[in-house]
């Protein structure tokens, strides 16, 4: 924008956007996301059994969960045992023949074996059972 003064001289106005409020808002949003991200956890709350030997889960595989009420989930979606194998095969083709199985400690062994049987008859050969490590005594 150019302005002409009474002397006849032409001056330009320097128009700049003030970035300080924008930076303030971005920093506040960053702090909010940093605080809330650890609170938001995906998955279901299941008290898996504790064992002496625990390996780190390193692969990104589908998770089959059996909660304390013996409800079956694939990832976070409830599923019937008859549909479990087909859903795993159709939704997780890149996982191959592997899944994680996490069952609540209160679940009857017969329920867990029925799920394992349904997965193995569908061709899923590698079923990794999820556990937690034993607490170390001080």
Q: Where are the alpha helices (DSSP H) in the chain?
A: 20-36, 81-91, 109-121
| 42 within domain boundaries | no
Same domain, 13 and 59: no
Same domain, 91 and 116: yes
CB 127 within 8 A of CB 99: yes
Q: Which stretches of the chain score pLDDT less than 50? A: none
Q: Which residues pair with 11 in a beta bridge?
A: 3
Structure tokens at 33: 């996301």
Instruction: Give the pLDDT of residue 5.
Output: 77
User: What is the tens place of the pLDDT at every residue in 24-48?
Assistant: 999 999 999 888 876 665 556 677 7
- Spell out a b/e string for 106-117, using b for 16 or more CB atoms within 10 Å of the CB, else e: ebeeeebebbbe
Instruction: Give the pLDDT of residue 52.
Output: 73
Number of domains in the chain: 2
Instruction: Give the pLDDT of residue 27.
Output: 95
The answer to whether the predicted template modeling score (pTM) of the entire model surpasses 0.75 is: no
Domain residue limits at 94? 50-133
């Amino acid at each position: 924008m150019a302005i002409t003064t009474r002397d006849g001289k032409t001056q330009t106005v320097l128009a700049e956007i003030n970035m300080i409020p924008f930076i303030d808002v971005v920093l506040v949003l960053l702090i909010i996301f940093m605080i809330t991200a650890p609170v938001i956890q995906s998955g279901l709350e299941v008290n898996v059994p504790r064992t002496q030997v625990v390996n780190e889960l390193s692969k990104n595989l589908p998770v089959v969960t059996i909660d304390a009420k013996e409800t079956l989930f694939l990832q976070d979606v409830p599923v019937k045992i008859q549909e479990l194998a087909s859903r795993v095969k159709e939704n997780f083709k890149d996982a191959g023949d592997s899944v994680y199985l996490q069952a609540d400690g209160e679940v009857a062994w017969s329920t867990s074996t029925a799920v394992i049987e349904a997965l193995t008859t569908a061709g899923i050969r590698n079923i990794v059972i999820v556990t937690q490590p034993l607490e170390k005594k001080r």
